[in-house]
Structure 1
Amino acid sequence: MTTLGLALMGTGRMADVYGPKINAHPGLRLEVIYNPRITSAQKATDKFGGRPMDDLDAVLADPKIDAVVIATPTDTHVEYIEHVARSGKPIYCEKPLDQSLDRVDRAVAALRDHPVPFMLGFNRRFDPDNAALRDAVARGEIGRVNMLMSWSREPSPPPIAYVRSSGGYFIDATIHDIDLLCWIAGERPVEVMATGSCMFDDQIGAEGDYDMTMTMLKMPSGALVHINNSRACAYGFDQRLEAFGDDGMVQTLNHRDDNLVRWDKASTVARQPLKNFFLERYDQSFYSALDEFHQAVTTDRAPSVTVQDGRDALAISLACSQSAKSGKSVSPSWE
């Protein structure tokens, strides 16, 4: 197996996700952790290994660095993509590309001018259950697709400081569902309708954002897509998909530590609680996404999640935000 030496950019929550996954992959080697604050880089290397560096040009000039994983705050992604693309290094970047289509178009242009392998981290495509549902739909098991539905409910609202910089619920969270369901459907919506409310955290409402949303996408085929999001859920991290077609239906179910159903004299059903958060529910998907990146780079093929996928998902998310604010249906901007 060909081994890639990686530079991990960033030392926050997503770096904490990717550090262990890089170390667990036999074809990846963590060479460097980059942060412009060397003390932060040092703390991260104390946990995950590699060398701390605070000079990006020096990182990209290092012959031991074969590719870069960008796990920095969203508002830094475009500048880092431009910089890394000019160096000729392959790039894996956390989603979203940015909160602005104009800035995303800068990343698209940089990758057009410097065509390095690029993969966007929509990790939920690589969840085994989600991928199996998509494969079943693609094989025609349910015939023509009529409806796609997703439930994505988080256990509790994030800190208000995070909400303020998130770009809004549709861009921060619904974008995952949008990308996943458009990927399953194999088409982009011609119209979106969305609405939101604030039921759990008044501070989120005071910021002009929502903690509960419903979204509908109308596809060119006529299929309808429904996305149900909530920032609070009393029983854990609720993650389900359903595809309904002419010939049947396929679903994914929530994950638990075990899925045994127990029957006895005292109770009819007793099950373990749901996985608590995305870090537990989608743990395997992050490893599988990095594996896809490794295979693409080492076999000289294009990664399966492209910069255009990221642009499309953002355009739809922005249309959802506009729809929720205006109370009207909106057609996404593809230009």
Structure 2
Amino acid sequence: MRTDHGLQVIRTALIGAGRIGTMHAGNVARRVAGAELAAVVDPVEEAAQRLAAKYGARATGDIDDVLKDPDIDAVLITSIAAVHSELIVQAAEAGKAVWCEKPASLTLEEMDRAIEATRQAGVPFQVGFNRRFAADFAAARKAVVDGEIGTPQLMRSLTRDPGWPAGLSNAANVKPWTIFRETLIHDFDMLLWLNPGAEPIEVYTKADALVAPEYKDGGLLDTAAVMITFDNGAIATAEANFSALYGYDVRGEVFGSKGMVTAGRHANSPMLHYGENGIRQHTLRSDEEMFVDAYTQELQDFAEAVRSKGVPPVTGEDARRALEVALAAMTSHEEGRPVKLGAAA
């Protein structure tokens, strides 16, 4: 057994060599103690080879190469969302611990199958809701749990992806429902996490293609606001847009009977530039800038769950709850009505 910083080394295989997979590969190889990037899998084998070569890992286009390898302890799934649930099942049946980018599945039926497969195999299963691992969001959650803001009454979570003056450059490639299942699902998870013990009972959506309206007939939605009512009385809003010209904007807020907590930031530095045109400040331009420490910590915690065979900090059941809200938001948009959840349905 090899060790690193006194920790058993967890040998991981990355499945999916795209943008987010490339980032996670670098974090595993360079920033996560007690973890090793052993292999990179991608159906485009050249992409796997390019990424693997950076970190001395082996590359393959065949997932069975790593699932049958007894020296691989865990897989990190960063492929396209449509195949996440099937990959989770395959990895679990091969006895590998599973970490998967969100959304772990696109339907509740697929999600339930993935959860059951990991349960039957007895392997850790963690989903990549990275905001839970950011210091400011974690501190906000602790304040809520400790009763410092009293009873939650109003909540807010938002995601505004960076945009460009020319508009949404990749609008034609944005799949229908992306804004709910792949963007706002982070906000749904955050609102659930920041209101512990409460359950969502109603979801109502307004959404449109306001950034690139010419793609609306193809299913594009680039702007959305979702109102969620909880059984403890809290009213929450989640909003998203794909074109924030000022940078990457992610924030959260819980207002309660004793006060308020907020999380999230715009600036990449406290430095303010005072000039003839007023005050200027440089802003964060990507998720990698804002959440580099959170992305690292979630994988560090996953590696520890694999070592200890414990329960990861974000479970398949957590992912299912967020997905249920996302699917209700989609139904609300389609049917133009509030959608009841849980016992209220």
TM norm structure 1:
0.93
Matched residue, 2:10: 4
2:317 alignment partner in structure 1: 308
| Amino acid paired to 1:76 | V
Amino acid at match of 1:184: L
Query: In terms of mean alpha carbon deviation, does 39-48 or 292-301 score higher?
Result: 39-48
User: Identity, % of aligned pairs?
Assistant: 33
- Please tell me whether residue 63 in structure 1 is matched to residue 70 in structure 2: yes
Change (3 A) 1:233 1:176: same
Give the Cα separation in 2 of the matches to 1:256 and 1:99: 33
* Contact persistence 2:267–2:284 (CA under 8 A): yes
Query: Which structure features the higher share of strand residues?
Result: 2
1:235 to 217, 241, 246: 246
Structure 1 counterpart of 2:159 = 152
* Structure 1 SS opposite 2:185: helix
Write the distance in 1 (CA, Å) between the matches of 2:133 and 2:281: 24
Give 1:107 deviation, angstroms.
Answer: 1.1
| Aligned mate of 2:54, from 44, 47, 50 | 47
Output the aligned Cα RMSD: 2.0
Q: Aligned letter for 2:21? A: A
Q: Secondary structure at the match of 2:238?
A: strand
SS of the residue 2:340 aligns to: coil
> CA 1:108 to 1:260, structure 2 compared with 1: closer, same or farther past 3 Å?
same
Counterpart for residue 281 of structure 2: 272
State how far apart, in whole Å, the 2-side matches of 1:223 and 1:308 are.
22
1:213 maps to 224
Partner of 1:88: 95
Q: Deviations over 1:83-126 (max 9, x none)?
A: 11111111111110122222222212212322211101111111
Conserved? CA contact 1:160–1:203, under 8 Å? no
Paired position in structure 1 for 2:237: 226
Q: Give the match's secondary structure for 2:260.
A: strand
Deviations, residues 255-290 of structure 1 (Å, cap 9, x unaligned): 3221234668x57x6242320122222222111110
Instruction: Find the residue that maps to 1:119 and give its secondary structure.
Output: strand
Q: CA deviation at 1:326?
A: 1.7
Per the alignment, residue 204 of structure 2 pairs with 193
Q: Aligned pair in 2 of structure 1 residues 44, 161: CA closer, same or farther (>3 Å)?
A: farther
* Partner SS state of residue 36, structure 1: coil
Q: How many residues align?
A: 332
Q: 2:150, 2:257 within 8 Å by CA — same for their partners in 1? A: yes
Say yes or no: does 1:252 pair with 2:263: yes
After superposition, the Cα gap between the structure-2 partners of 1:204 and 1:288, relative to the gap in structure 1 and judged at 3 Å, is farther
Deviation at 1:217, TM superposition (A): 0.5
Structure 1: which 5+ residue stretches go unaligned?
none
Q: CA–CA distance in 2 between the matches of 1:124 and 1:173?
A: 12
Deviations 1:213-263 (A, max 9, x none): 111110010011111211111211122211101111111242322123466
Structure 1 residue ranges (4+ consecutive) displaced by more than 6 angstroms after TM superposition: none
What are the ranges of 5 or more consecutive residues in structure 2 without an aligned counterpart?
A: 1-6
What SS does the corresponding residue of 2:85 show, helix, strand or coil? helix
The 3 A distance-change label for structure 1 pair 21 and 283 is same
**Counterpart of 1:316 in structure 2: which amino acid?**
V
SS at match of 1:232: strand
Q: Distance in 2 between matches of 1:271 and 1:134?
A: 31
Decide which of 160, 174, 187 is 2:184's aligned counterpart: 174
Task: Quote the Cα distance in structure 1 between the aligned partners of 2:118 and 2:158.
Answer: 34
**Does structure 1 conserve the Cα–Cα contact (< 8 Å) formed by 2:177 and 2:220?**
no
- When the two structures are superposed, what TM-score results if normalisation uses the length of structure 2? 0.90
Q: Counterparts of 1:251 and 1:208 in 2: how far apart (Å)?
A: 33
1:191-234: CA deviation from partner (whole Å, max 9, x where unpaired): 01111122111244122332111111100100111112111112
CA–CA separation in structure 2 for the residues paired with 1:53 and 1:183: 37
Amino acid at match of 2:29: N
1: CA distance between counterparts of 2:115 and 2:169? 30
* Contact kept? 1:204, 1:211, Cα under 8 Å: no
CA separation in 2, counterparts of 1:84 and 1:60?
6
What SS does the corresponding residue of 1:22 show, helix, strand or coil? helix
Separation in 1 of the partners of 2:162 and 2:67? 39
Report the Cα distance in structure 2 between the residues aligned to 1:293 and 1:271, rounded to whole angstroms. 39
- Partner amino acid, structure 2, of 1:230: N
